[in-house]
Amino acid sequence: MKHVRLRSYVVVFLALILLNFALPRMMPGGPIDFIEGQDSGPTLTKEQKESILAYYALDESPVTQWVRYMKGVVTLDFGTSFQYRQDVGAVIREHLPYTLSLVGVATLISIIISIVFGLYSGYQAVHKGDRVLFGTMLVFSALPEFLVGMFLLITYSVMLPIFPMSGAATPFLENASLLNMMLDRIQHAVLPITTLILATVPSLYLLMRNETVRIMQAPFIEFAQMKGIHTRTLLRKHVFKNALLPVFTMMMLRVGLTFTGAIFVETLFSYPGIGKLLRDAIVSRDYPLMHGLFFLFTSIILMINLLTDWIYPKLDPRIRKEDPM
């Protein structure tokens, strides 16, 4: 089982690297003709064309191109961004912290909220508290990040101007003490983080609730109730872990999705993280930067998957004993 999963990660990784290599070279007439042939996007200046040609080195033989390309991948050297005229690594390093803090905070809060609400709701299943929560979550589960974000933006930036509409910090902040700067940053992050939370919680909550409802019907829960155990102990010791385990993998996959959600949220709120960077790179056809960012996104998501596979057996004694790996 474990080997199979590991193998599929390697396959995914290689396939994406290959795709990234082959796609621009497979386009009829090469990347430039292809871009020009489309009626969309910005027209390319001569300088841009030259940099694209130099980047892909199309005059060399395919083998040399591949070697050069792989060398770049292995040494994590993705070239120079057309747009920023800077090393891709440096550009990414500058924007990564914004996304990590958005997604990190949002993920942590989402997991806690959805587990607590899911447990409560599943335990109370079909009573009033559960019905209200369940209905609300169902509504939110239908809405993707950009719609939730738009509602928040319209409500709290346009109609009630409490939070700023865009950016990660106010430029030229007056009275720029350290405290004020921090408050300013937090103020800018509130709406994006809330959006991510609102978009992530419902699906995690629904997973947790449904599993809790299922576990609550298990014989060992009835037997635990027959032992006269208190509700809180029952939930903590008997329900929580049994309900969490089957959905743990799904939940972690969902967390991976939060990173792609960041692309929408950052674009909507003009938040300078790697999500917006990726979107801008695609729109302005900054191929080296795109290459680096796709590599990063893939790695992050695969890392989360690996981490999940590593943690899971430690949580489930039934697997631990059978497979000592």
Partner 1 sequence: MKHKKYIVGSFILFYSVLYFSYPYAASSYQFESYLAPSRMHWLGTNSVGQDVVALLIEGTKWSLIVGFVVATASTLLSVVLGVWSGYFRKWDSLWNGLANVLLVLPNLLIILLVIAFTGGQYTMLLVLMSVLSWPAYMRIIRAQVMSLKEREFIQISRQLGNSHLYILTRHFPAHLKSLVQTKWIMTFRYAILTEAGLAFLGLGDPVKVTWGKLLHDGFSNPTIFLNGSWTWLVLPPVLLLAIVTVYISFIIEGKNVKRTKSSLRKEVHCTKEAGLRGEQITLHYGVSKPIFENVSLDVQRGEIVSITGPSGSGKTSLARAMYGILPVAYYEGHGQMDGEWTSHPKFASAHYFKTIAFMYQDARAAFNPLLPLRQQFEELGVTQDEMNEALKEVQLYETIANRYPHECSGGMLSRVLVALTFVWRPHYVICDEVTSALDPILKKEIIFLLQKKAKQLNCGVLMITHDHDVAHAISDRTLQMTKENRDD
Distance in angstroms (rounded) separating the CA atoms of residues 87 and 10: 27
Distance in angstroms (rounded) separating the CA atoms of residues 166 and 98: 14
Pick from 32, 189, 196, 301 the residue near partner 1 by CB under 8 A: 301
**Taking CB under 8 A as the rule, does residue 4 contact partner 1?**
yes
- The tokens describing 90, both together, are 């440096």
Query: Where in 21-50 is the site for partner 1 (CB under 8 A)?
Result: 23-24, 27, 31, 34, 38-41
Pick from 86, 132, 220, 303 the residue near partner 1 by CB under 8 A: 220
- How many residues make up the chain in this entry? 325
Give min distance, CB of 108 to partner 1, in A: 20
The CA-CA-CA angle for residues 130, 133, 134, to 5°, reads 80
Distance in angstroms (rounded) separating the CA atoms of residues 126 and 123: 9
**Taking CB under 8 A as the rule, does residue 3 contact partner 1?**
no
Give min distance, CB of 260 to partner 1, in A: 5
**Taking CB under 8 A as the rule, does residue 160 contact partner 1?**
no
Pick from 54, 90, 138, 303 the residue near partner 1 by CB under 8 A: 138
Query: Where in 253-292 is the site for partner 1 (CB under 8 A)?
Result: 253, 256-257, 259-260, 263-264, 267-268, 278-279, 282-283, 285, 290
- The tokens describing 298, both together, are 């893939």
Give min distance, CB of 240 to partner 1, in A: 10
Pick from 6, 158, 183, 311 the residue near partner 1 by CB under 8 A: 158
- The tokens describing 304, both together, are 């989360």
Nearer to partner 1, 8 or 180 (CB): 8
Nearer to partner 1, 170 or 181 (CB): 170
Distance in angstroms (rounded) separating the CA atoms of residues 160 and 309: 45
**Taking CB under 8 A as the rule, does residue 86 contact partner 1?**
no
Largest CA distance in the chain: 79
Q: Tokens 């609300």 sit at which residue?
A: 136
Specify the stretch interacting with partner 1 by CB under 8 A; choose among 71-79, 100-108, 183-191, 234-242. 234-242
Of residues 130, 144, 275, 291, the one with CA closest to residue 209: 130
**Taking CB under 8 A as the rule, does residue 96 contact partner 1?**
no
Of residues 208, 303, 209, 11, the one with CA closest to residue 311: 303
**Taking CB under 8 A as the rule, does residue 299 contact partner 1?**
no
**Taking CB under 8 A as the rule, does residue 167 contact partner 1?**
no
**Taking CB under 8 A as the rule, does residue 297 contact partner 1?**
yes
- The tokens describing 251, both together, are 């939940």
Other C-beta atoms closer than 10 Å to the C-beta of 266 total 28
Give min distance, CB of 249 to partner 1, in A: 11
